[in-house]
Structure 1
Amino acid sequence: MTRSFFAKELEELHIDMIKMGSLVEESIENTIEALKNQDVELAKNIYESDDIIDSYEKKIERQCLNLIARQQPLAKDLRAISTALKIITDMERIADHSADIAEITIRMSDEKYIKPLIDIPKMANLASRMVNKAIDAYVNNDLELARKVCQSDDEVDDLFYKIVLELTNIIKNDVSTTEQAVNFMFIAKYLERMADHATNIAEWVVYNITGEHEKFAKYYHKDDKARKPFEK
């Protein structure tokens, strides 16, 4: 197998990863659209989308294993392939969280919401952009972009704590809101986890480029906020 053939195979791998990433972004966007509009049909479609994303994960995994078996890649190439395997796992988990939110959306479809949805869509948009930038950073070997994705996680965390505090106060003022407020807390937590997975992807990109896997969170988080009641 020649290096040109390896480069072609790697390019095909990147194309499939971009397609998978686009599906993941679309899943996040549809999830929040379904939640905002209490659209049960769209929420149900997210489950079908999750199956397609799962199939991409399996396809890319086969591509990676074939490259390792047939090409006997050099250390740098092996790093790129192992990074791809890590990234698709995080993308698949993001899609799983979209399905989790869709399930809650269906449960709450007949309820009047206890508050307008403002910060939750913001979290979703940030998480979606983080996924997009992390995949771009991988494909383009962009170290600076990967680091920016890691920094973005702080903003999502801030929104998460804001939402939890607001919902906690709503419960204190009216205990009848408890069930729905807790559902929104879970939704916020799933979005926060999506951003964490996007950060994981970016950290693997850093590993791919530098050969070192650094946890950028310890550099970018300036304070050690309490994680309760939802600890990471």
Structure 2
Amino acid sequence: MVNKANSTLKSVLDVILHENPSTQDEIADKLGLSRRYVTKLLQPLVKRGVVRRAYILDLKKFDEFSEMFNEEKTSREHAGTYLIKEMLKNMAEHVCEQFDMSFESFEKYDKDMATKALEMDYVSNNMHEKVRSSVDTVISINPYSEFSKTMIFSEIAYDLERIADHTGHIANFVLNGCYEVDEEMVSILKSMFKTSRKMVKYSVKAFLNEELDLKDKVMDYEEKIHALQKKALNNMAILMAEDDIVDKDRSTYYLSLSRVVKAFERIGDISVEIVDASGEFYRNIPRTTTPERFRRISKD
């Protein structure tokens, strides 16, 4: 059982890892602790060089302390692997929140909410950079057998950043659109959102928790998302045939709407890529070099 002091120390180390504080006062303010208590917790780690001023974790030395923070681990993980997984977990939660807010802004046609969703993308980009730099650090101190696997962490962070970018098309539609979306179209897009959102959830869970059996669910949803995409595009074609798209604003509207449809489809494809990477990471199952969208075309 992790005691209270260790739990608090883990929170302190999370702040150091993710937020790059310059002083112990910053750490204390962030967690609502006294500076004296933060000093007490960090002092043994500072003396042993695990934490270096101002304030950086030495991942190699931290390895010996990592087990006390995760009683559920069934096998010893390199500290860098454990910490980067924590970073990816936080990034996935943030990107999913961004995804949710983007679609909610679409449903409510709320421009303020759409703006906030787009602002969240800056944090997503920053999180990707932190994972990438942490992977570089781990490789520099442990460059041997796990090199290729460690690099997959960077790929997953990049995939999450791509998902965040695609949610931006949804928020941008709200900011740039000027017409109400057809009710049937909204219903289809809502189904696409729910389906792709589940795909993100299950693919990330598969990678973080080694739950590779979730791939079957992801692939089932993959078929559904493409069926919904075809339905959405057919609906758009009918609306465009009935509409006067000579008007520039109207044609821009349909172009923006098609990007929303495409965003859900691409988020689904990226989720498949993440779950495929999970198989390679844990079971050494080689991934195909053919992108998912081209594999799908060949099947058709």
TM-score by length of 1: 0.85
Alignment RMSD: 2.4
SS at match of 2:227: helix
Is 1:183 matched up with 2:256?
yes
**Counterpart-to-counterpart distance in 2, 1:17 and 1:147:** 22
Is 1:44 matched up with 2:115?
yes
Compare relative contact order (CA 8 Å, sep 6+) and give the higher one, 1 or 2.
1
Moved more, 126-135 or 112-121: 112-121
Structure 2: give runs of 5+ residues left out of the alignment.
1-59, 67-76
Q: Percent identity?
A: 17
Equivalent in 122, 126, 131 of residue 55 of structure 1: 126
**Counterpart-to-counterpart distance in 1, 2:102 and 2:122:** 15
Equivalent pair of 2:169/2:259 in contact (CA under 8 Å): no
Could you list the per-position Cα deviations for residues 72-117 of structure 1 after superposition, in whole angstroms to 9, with x for gaps in the alignment? 342xx33431211111111101101111221121112x43323341
Equivalent in 171, 196, 204 of residue 135 of structure 1: 204
Please list, as runs of the form range in 1=range in 2, the aligned pairs for 1:36-115 lying within 5 A after superposition: 36-74=107-145, 77-108=146-177, 110-115=178-183
Which residue in the other structure is 1:164 paired with? 233
Alpha carbons of structure 1 residues 112 and 140: separation in structure 2 relative to 1, 3 Å: closer
- Equivalent residue pairs, number: 221
**Counterpart-to-counterpart distance in 1, 2:204 and 2:182:** 36
Alpha carbons of structure 1 residues 60 and 149: separation in structure 2 relative to 1, 3 Å: same
**Counterpart-to-counterpart distance in 2, 1:209 and 1:170:** 47
**Counterpart-to-counterpart distance in 1, 2:199 and 2:132:** 22
1:144 is displaced (CA, Å) by 1.4
Equivalent pair of 2:215/2:275 in contact (CA under 8 Å): yes
**Counterpart-to-counterpart distance in 1, 2:297 and 2:256:** 29
1:223 is displaced (CA, Å) by 7.9
Is 1:174 matched up with 2:243?
yes
**Counterpart-to-counterpart distance in 2, 1:179 and 1:48:** 23
1:59 is displaced (CA, Å) by 0.6
Structure 1: give runs of 5+ residues left out of the alignment.
226-232
